[in-house]
Structure 1
Amino acid sequence: MTTATRTAADDTTKSAPKLPHPGPGIGHDEIPRRADPFAVVRHSLTLTWRSLVKLKRQPEQFIDLTLQPILFIVMFVYLFGGAIEGSTQDYLQFVLPGILVQTVVFASLGTGVGLCEDINKGVFDRFRSLPISRFAPLGGAVLGDVCRYVVSIAIVFGFGSAIGFRVQTGPLEVLAAIALVLVFAFAMSWIFVVLGVTMRNPRSVQGTAMLLGFPLTFGANIFARAETMPGWLQAWVDVNPVSHLTSAVRTLLVEGGSATGDALATLAWAAVIFAVFAPLAVHKYKTKT
């Protein structure tokens, strides 16, 4: 190559614009995101609306929320109520607050399944390409499911009232019981969100979630009093957060008196669950490939 040719090539190299280094692609942390807490809340609420629209377009998702609590109430009250409590009416007063808790806990299992389905469809790839907080898509899905929990609570109260359940306290206690259930279910949902963003198959998410849900609900004081159980089972029931929630709701709706101890224990469990699993879910979502 001649000196003139090398000089021309050098001039061309110097004058050529530098192209940007190719980025790692959509969905990585280099995408700008807003850390403003108000923006996080706004984005989460926007995606909550998406979840509500999804529910409107897929009303079949409400089938399990309506039929399951009705079946449990009928089965336990009329098949086992007389044997357990001596009177179906007395057992209805005892068990319905527990079935209210069980219904919402089981409803929270569906959060992880729905997330896994959306991830497999590529919906969350589009979310990851947006300049929004990584918390927003997950938080929006959970908040949207809270509306499902409200529907299930209404079904339990409505059907229970139709067959003879009566609240023995006032409206403030009822609102406190509902709020306590929703707060705990919101926290529990994050356990299943972790499953949803970690596992690749919605059926695997559902199966694992049920394995976690059954000991929490059937190993609690929902259907029978703890003192009637063997000692080894009582030890689990006494520390089970669902037992604390059930006792608090039962006190607020039927028994009256102070539910402060069980309510505080429930809120403490909810805070710990949220503090552990919400950041873990966001981390799993950010690093998911």
Structure 2
Amino acid sequence: MSTATDRTDLEDVVLAEPDRERLSALLVGQDRPPRPSALSASLTFGWRAMLKIKHVPEQLFDVTAFPIMLVLMYTYLFGGALAGSTEEYIQFLLPGIMVMSVVMITMYTGVAVNTDIAKGVFDRFRTLPIWRPAPMVGYLLGDVLRYLLASFVMLTVGMIIGFRPDGGVLGVLAGIALLVVFSFAFSWIWTMFGLMLRSEKSVMGVSMMVIFPLTFLSNVFVDPKTMPGWLQAFVNNSPVTHLATAVRELMAGEWPAADIAWTLGWAGVFLVVFGVVTMRLYNRK
């Protein structure tokens, strides 16, 4: 019984040998698929980030409910005390609070990176024949959608309660575009923390320690002229202050060349410095 079975199996192998040879020749003879370009790989990982939002829509709470809460809370708490009326204060506050909210949202990029590392996903990414920074750039491209959504949600709420941008549609779009460019570059700080730190809680804790002083010690809520001299020196040179001023004046119909230049300069510094550090950590992780 056993001999007959072995003989049948051997005959099957012999009969299948020509098929194997043809299959081997076909596989070896064909050219390998072309390596994806840097843009293609980055967009693919960006699409992956968007699919994660699709499957877990609760992730959008921080770009919908949270910004709405901030706009309403700060407008009606401080508007009468600081500007005499909420209608006047919203003209000053909305561009600033938009900057603050979107900049704070950027820290969740580091949390997502750290989560994928803990799950072992990055080990698979490093084995793929793709442009090395593509997974990181993909995270940031996916988050651009979150920045845009938060900006338009806050703008809509602001318009409902009295915000009127004198710069019109072009001024608003220019302000949002500048905010997104800065946020994309600023997010590289959190990708670095996501690679350096051991847990999500550590990333969140360190991010909060950095981002809260940077956003609150700015001109988001009040004019720095009311602050002590030593504090004005810090606030007036803060990247968040330059960004908030640029967005505010663009939406007001002005062209703040100096603040735009400072904002783009800070964005370039963040991208070059923290992008390089992030990729070195990624390659050694």
Shift of 1:162: 1.4
- Which of residues 233, 253, 263 in structure 1 aligns to 2:260? 263
Structure 1 residues 115-146: Cα deviation after superposition (integer angstroms, max 9, x where no partner)? 10111111111111111122011110111011
**Which of the residues 36, 47, 50 maps onto 1:49?**
47
Per-residue CA deviation, residues 202-253 of structure 1 (Å, 9 max, x unaligned), is 1100110111111111010000001011111101111101100100111011
Counterpart in 1 of 2:280?
283
Aligned to 1:181: 179
Secondary structure of the 1:239 match is coil
For residues 81-96 of structure 1, the aligned pairs below 5 Å read: 81-96=79-94
**Deviation for aligned residue 1:80:** 1.1
Runs of 4+ off more than 2 Å: none
1:157 equivalent in structure 2: 155
Match of 1:138 in 2: 136
Q: 1:232-289: CA deviations, max 9, x gaps?
A: 11011111011001001110112x332111011100000011010111101101101x
Q: Percent identical across equivalent pairs?
A: 48
Per-residue CA deviation, residues 7-63 of structure 1 (Å, 9 max, x unaligned), is xxxxxxxxxxxxxxxxxxxxxxxxxxx9x9x81221111111111111111110111
2-structure distance, mates of 1:173, 1:160 = 15
Match of 2:200 in 1: 202
Match of 2:76 in 1: 78
Distance in 2 of aligned mates of 1:220 and 1:117: 31
- What is the Cα-based RMSD across aligned positions, in Å? 1.3
Report 1:162-173 matches (<5 A): 162-173=160-171
Q: Tell me which residue corresponds to 2:61.
A: 63
TM-score (norm. length: structure 2): 0.86
Q: Measure, in 1, the Cα distance between the counterparts of 2:159 and 2:101.
A: 16
What is aligned with 1:234? 232
1:1-80 alignment, distance < 5 Å: 39-80=37-78
Partner secondary structure for residue 236 of structure 2: helix
Residues 167 and 254, structure 2, Cα contact 8 Å, conserved in 1: no
Q: Distance in 2 between matches of 1:276 and 1:118?
A: 23
Alignment coverage as a number of residue pairs: 252
**Partner Cα distance (1:84, 1:40) in 2:** 49
Give the Cα separation in 1 of the matches to 2:145 and 2:68. 19
Summarize the alignment of residues 212-251 of structure 1 with structure 2, pairs less than 5 Å apart: 212-251=210-249
When normalised by structure 1's length, the TM-score is 0.85
Secondary structure in structure 2 of the residue aligned to 1:176: helix
Q: Which runs of 5+ in 2 are unaligned?
A: 1-33
Structure-1 residue corresponding to 2:19: none
CA contact (8 A) 2:102 2:150 kept: yes
Q: Deviations over 1:45-98 (max 9, x none)?
A: 111111111111111011111122112112211111111111111001110000
**Equivalent position SS for 1:133:** coil
Give the unaligned 5+ runs of structure 1.
1-33
For 1:186 and 1:258, locate their aligned partners in 2 and report how far apart those are by CA, in whole Å: 22
